[in-house]
Structure 1
Amino acid sequence: MTDTPAQPTAGDVADWWANGICRMEPGVVELRGIPVQELIGHRGLVSTIWLMVRGGSPTADEAALLEAAMVASVDHGPQAPSIAIARMTVTCGVGMNNAMASGVNALGDSHGGAGQQCVELLSEIVARESAGAELSDATAEVVAEYRARDPYLPGFGHRFHPIDPRRNPLLSLVDAAVSAGTIEGRHAAAARAVEALLNQGRSKPVPMNIDGATAVIYAELGFAPELARGLFVLSRSVGILAHAWEESNQGRRNKGPMPTSILPTYR
């Protein structure tokens, strides 16, 4: 005789959705144990992002550094696939949420993933240095291993900018944070070691780009590589929203990737 499975109880269902992020019941909304009414008007968005994904609260200096990284990544023009897709989508008779989701869904390994990949790269260098290797040796080893898999090294070089205009301001803030003791600076040193290695014997430099500079900040602040990508997506969502909204007010219908006067080559 087969035993009848026990029927789930209300407690079983409640436990199914157990979480440590948000407590909600009638009259109560708590985020990581803090009543939302204590956050409203007292905590900024970036600090709240930290609270939600990490728990705890950043210092003012940590929050400022994270905000700088996120501000730097909000947009890179309509030639970026995620922005172009959002602008086209919003002309197709769908809502702003559809346009934003379509743009965000284009952010993958090739477009939007370099920050996560660079955090992984820098973290591996720092790990080997912690195990006793010299920084220069750890850098050479890790870069060689990465390049054996892919000639592209995430976080360095840019197809548009000889020097990414976002690089120097972010690294200046990183240096100031290291001097103030806000961050340790080991990932920043690793990134500069990679940059120096890449530029050996080159007449045309391959400088760190926005993905590298923000990867330094995310890694120094202790964010996991996957969260580095998520934070980039949050940042770029601002640009996606702005472009989708602008496009929605221009009166176009069914905007395609090229003006209608230009037809694709048929092969």
Structure 2
Amino acid sequence: MSDVSDWWRTSIIDMEPGRIELRGHPIQDLIGNVSFAEMIWLMVRGDRPTPAQARLFEAALVSAVDHGPQAPSIAAARMAVTCGLPLNNAMASAVNMLGDVHGGAGEQAVEMYTHIADWDGNIDSALDAWVAAQGKIIPGFGHRFHTPVDPRAPRLMHLVREATQEGACNGKFAEIGEAVEASLARRKGRPIPMNIDGATAVIYAELGFAAPLARGLFCLSRSVGILSHAWEQTEQGGRNKGPTPPSYRWTFDPPRKTDETA
């Protein structure tokens, strides 16, 4: 049986008839005694957060639940419902939209903060090296809709400072994030404030989450908004609604004439 039982190996769950243990904790001891955010931490990390860590972690999860029907993932969920898909399929369609461009900035910001933390030099040279390797877009800063300030970021950074005072984290990555913000303002000659992705990246880095988990945690957070919008669209009804009303048409680009078709 070892060849079969060893096919999958996990330290996350152990169970047999009448017994379920998650990370070594009987499920009945967890139910009613840990929050959902604490449960996410336990399942992903294998340990339990301190109360101060749990509060900061939950704040990051709450902050990113929704950003309106114009967000591609939310729009995809609503359109999926109008195409007759049930909630689970609508949610899957939406989560699959969360890639490098829409949904990946938090992971990228954690990577950038880590790069700066490991850099042997000042913040400007660290950013120069990042841009040379990754391109000119600085993840986690600036927002095309929320100008001049993304209202979520200052609140989260305030909570990071409180958590640092409580010993939940050491504030290292908060200082890096603020240094990036200051450097960008000097370079551009105007403020380029931290946005939600930059702020949640500070929190996840402060709490010791690996960069790829920042995207996974964002997917969990945004799934709340996705479910809400998919259910709202279900209740509103509507059939086969595309990205624009039917009276609007796309722009048609005629085929370019070549020497053979002229």
Distance 1:50 1:205, change over 3 A: same
Specify the alignment match of 1:54 in structure 2.
Answer: 45
Deviations 1:215-257 (A, max 9, x none): 0000000000011110000000000000000011112011100
Q: CA deviation at 1:182?
A: 1.6
Map residues 84-103 of structure 1 onto 2, 5 A cutoff: 84-103=75-94
CA distance in 2, matches of 1:97, 1:262: 30
Q: Percent identity?
A: 57
Q: CA deviation at 1:127?
A: 1.9
Specify the alignment match of 2:125 in structure 1.
Answer: 141
CA distance in 2, matches of 1:181, 1:32: 25
User: What code does the residue aligned with 1:156 have?
Assistant: F
The unaligned stretches of length 5 or more in structure 2 are 254-262
CA distance in 2, matches of 1:25, 1:95: 32
* Most deviating of 257-266 and 103-112: 257-266
Query: Would you say the 8 A contact 2:143–2:195 is kept in 1?
Result: yes
CA RMSD of aligned residues (A): 1.1
Query: Would you say the 8 A contact 1:121–1:142 is kept in 2?
Result: no
What secondary structure, in the 3-state scheme, does the structure 2 residue paired with 1:184 have?
coil
Matched, 1:16 2:16: no
What secondary structure, in the 3-state scheme, does the structure 1 residue paired with 2:15 have?
strand
Specify the alignment match of 2:68 in structure 1.
Answer: 77
Specify the alignment match of 2:145 in structure 1.
Answer: 160
Specify the alignment match of 1:4 in structure 2.
Answer: none
1:211 to 193, 197, 206: 197
Specify the alignment match of 2:259 in structure 1.
Answer: none
2:116 to 121, 125, 144: 125
CA distance in 2, matches of 1:108, 1:86: 15
Matched, 1:181 2:167: yes
TM-score in terms of structure 1 length: 0.92
Query: Would you say the 8 A contact 1:183–1:220 is kept in 2?
Result: yes
Query: Would you say the 8 A contact 2:52–2:166 is kept in 1?
Result: no
What secondary structure, in the 3-state scheme, does the structure 2 residue paired with 1:85 have?
helix
Deviations 1:194-235 (A, max 9, x none): 110000164531000000000000000000001111000000
CA distance in 2, matches of 1:67, 1:202: 33
Matched, 1:236 2:222: yes
User: What code does the residue aligned with 1:151 have?
Assistant: K
Count of matched residue pairs: 251
2:209 to 200, 223, 239: 223
TM-score in terms of structure 2 length: 0.93
Specify the alignment match of 1:39 in structure 2.
Answer: 30
Q: CA deviation at 1:28?
A: 1.1
Specify the alignment match of 2:256 in structure 1.
Answer: none
User: What code does the residue aligned with 1:220 have?
Assistant: E
CA distance in 2, matches of 1:234, 1:73: 9
Map residues 194-209 of structure 1 onto 2, 5 A cutoff: 194-200=180-186, 202-209=188-195
Query: Would you say the 8 A contact 2:77–2:93 is kept in 1?
Result: yes
What secondary structure, in the 3-state scheme, does the structure 2 residue paired with 1:24 have?
strand
CA distance in 2, matches of 1:263, 1:204: 38
Q: CA deviation at 1:141?
A: 2.2
CA distance in 2, matches of 1:45, 1:234: 11
